[in-house]
Structure 1
């Protein structure tokens, strides 16, 4: 049976991600075992909290994530998506996994806007033909909680969202996908994307 590994490294909301993927029809293993991750048909990298702490806790699993992403689909969620990029400016300058070109930046201060960006906001589908977005309607709303955003080029941008500034709310490169929002908390649209990812696996 096809198996998706959710990486358990101490900073992810694993239960809700697991439930979302199970609803999408996936067979799930929650693991921090590098051999189990390497043997899986797809990988999910969840994450909440601060970038540097998450990278430190991922530790030696970084290599298996990078290697596996060359062979099987990988989905980063929220902080997990940010970790896919090259660098982050959260509490200093830190290196990410470097799987997708780009940098993680803090939202600038602007009157009338609160940081973190929290709640429902709409997606602009930049690449509607991408398989992750199959069946997702234009201007669909999804659920966000974040203070930092991905700054990358249009080539790697699947969707954009407007909050203080336009930012890449979903990214991809090859087998590697990332979503800034929480698909497991985003109703039918989020479930559809998890189903699409499961289908790609």
Structure 2
């Protein structure tokens, strides 16, 4: 357990404070611009960044306890979440920026899934669409007895029924397993 003597103690709050301090500086600078399109665009950009940051603050309850997650993310997203750490990275040349906040991108020793997602430059929609298109080209997703299973369009074979836990796992199990359980098939005669 860390405490006030640890230099990394409460770093998640320092990361958030860093983001808000930079946004306040940007707001002050934008307010000094002459009225017009450039000023309006900059104020709109700053408002958007504030909006993003506001949604990803670490949630503190009325008793002052940190819930180790922002309001919109889960604890598995890290503390602070990758959104807040990504916002901090906008000012990575600032002397108060701590490179460890984004080591999954900036430090080759810690690169993994976050870095791979970052370098691919694709959206979740693009990735999910490719996966779903490949599934639905070969299979149907059937609702059976309160669960779901895959069924091959060519031969009619199907997987076992799987009942997802509502609110916990939104990804259809059958989509992830169909191609592995049924890699090839032969069309049956009608």
- What is the TM-score when the length of structure 1 is the normalising length? 0.24
Indicate the structure with greater strand content: 1
Report 1 or 2 for greater relative contact order, CA contacts < 8 Å, sequence distance ≥ 6: 1
- What is the TM-score when the length of structure 2 is the normalising length? 0.25
